Amino acid sequence: MFNEKEVEWGKLGFAYVKADYNYVSCYKDGKWDDGKLVKENTLTISNGSTALHYGQQCFEGLKAYRAKDGSVQLFRPDQNAKRMIKSCQKLLMPEFPVERFIDACIQTVKANERFIPPYGSGATLYLRPFMIGVGDNVGVRPAEEYIFSIFVTPVGPYFKAGLSPVNFITSDYDRAAPAGTGAVKVGGNYAASLESHLLAAKQGYADCIYLDPATHTKIEEVGAANFFGITKDDKFVTPLSPSILPSITKYSLLHVAKEYLKMPTEERDCYIDKIDEFKEAGACGTAAVITPIGGISHKGKLHVFYSEKEVGPVTRKLYDTLFGIQMGDIEAPEGWIVKV
């Protein structure tokens, strides 16, 4: 049982803790019901649910942050709501409206207040909204019934604590096809990533780097995070490709780099054979926050960026500014913060 008085918040990893309440809304006869908070963390669904057989499902990930004054805030939940709509459109699932998505997030966080880590612990409350196709189906076609749900869990770092660099290795496998589902957040992409992750982990790497599926020459994603590099002349560079998940953290960093740190920014191809153009590199995402990349192993050679032991100064500035905004310590651009 979770006891908020005894938990060592600073020692949390990225693991599932059962919270008190979950949000559930059901779609039937062409409409969503009003939705409600429930205590159970199980869903009873038909064995013919399309999510089980044909991967008709999608999910999101965002966080609630406890600010210094004790208040709680969400970071850009409208962006997660909009990205989920894109995932739904791609898999022919009904859209869950943006305003309802944000309201459901707020309700779920409020109901699970005791699971929100304290300010300064480094931990946050992770929200996992998801949608699944359910009902009695057997042919390959979209379901007529769906469940939208949210659970929350308090989390610490996805990779390593304390802005420590980790190493990655390029994969020979692809997580998504060139004109496939790489740009949306659907479970199939993650099923396709399990084996490549295991192969990387077995060799001692934190995760693998996916190259573009068409030519295997350009960096696409760092496991379940986007890639960025800092050039020798201090440009913030990140790849642009139709098979990359458009990371909300990445787009926030592009803004932070340009408007807060006054750095030039570029979204463009990052060739694996030219990674020495970067003096620092990192992985970014909701779970990963900013994880400095110590080095990348490619074709048997390890290329080290700034250091395998220490975070580089530009990556640290990016981290401090973004995390400062998320925690409410630094003024956010308009609309980025939603108070719970």
Per rule CB under 6 A, is residue 157 in the interface with ligand COI? no
Per rule CB under 6 A, is residue 248 in the interface with ligand PLP? yes
Tokens standing for residue 99: 């305003």
Site for ligand PLP in 137-196 (CB under 6 A): none
185 is catalytic: yes
Per rule CB under 6 A, is residue 285 in the interface with ligand COI? yes
Site for ligand PLP in 10-39 (CB under 6 A): none
Report in angstroms how near the CB of residue 187 gets to ligand COI at its nearest: 10
Looking at 185, 218, 250, 301, which residue is catalytic? 185
Alpha carbon distance 206, 164 (integer Å): 12
Binding span for ligand COI by CB under 6 A among 28-36, 203-211, 256-264, 283-291: 283-291
In the numeric block, the tokens 């020459």 are attached to 217
- Of all residues in the shown chain, the one whose CB is closest to ligand COI is 61
Tokens standing for residue 196: 């490549």
Residue 236 has φ and ψ, to the nearest 5°, of -90, 120
Per rule CB under 6 A, is residue 245 in the interface with ligand PLP? yes
Give DSSP secondary structure letters for 195-208: HHHHHHHHTT-SEE
Binding span for ligand PLP by CB under 6 A among 116-124, 222-230, 317-325, 332-340: 222-230
Residue 248 interacting partner from ligand COI, ligand PLP, none (CB closer than 5 to 8 Å by kind): ligand PLP
Per rule CB under 6 A, is residue 182 in the interface with ligand COI? no
**Among residues 72, 287, 314, 322, which is the contact residue for ligand COI, using CB under 6 A?**
287
Report in angstroms how near the CB of residue 122 gets to ligand PLP at its nearest: 18
Report in angstroms how near the CB of residue 301 gets to ligand PLP at its nearest: 25
SS (H, E, C) 60-109: CCEEEEECCCCCEEEECHHHHHHHHHHHHHHCCCCCCCHHHHHHHHHHHH
Per rule CB under 6 A, is residue 61 in the interface with ligand COI? yes
Cβ atoms 265, 288 nearer than 8 A = no
Cβ atoms 302, 167 nearer than 8 A = yes
Alpha carbon distance 305, 312 (integer Å): 9
Burial of 67 (0-12, 13-18, 19+ CB in 10 A): middle
Half-sphere exposure of residue 251: CA atoms within 13 angstroms, side-chain side: 12
Per rule CB under 6 A, is residue 286 in the interface with ligand PLP? yes
Report in angstroms how near the CB of residue 288 gets to ligand PLP at its nearest: 7
**Among residues 224, 283, 284, 296, which is the contact residue for ligand COI, using CB under 6 A?**
224
Binding span for ligand COI by CB under 6 A among 23-31, 69-77, 227-235, 285-293: 285-293
Burial of 231 (0-12, 13-18, 19+ CB in 10 A): middle
Catalytic residues: 185
Query: Which residues form the interface with ligand PLP (CB under 6 A)?
Result: 61, 221, 224-226, 245, 247-250, 285-286
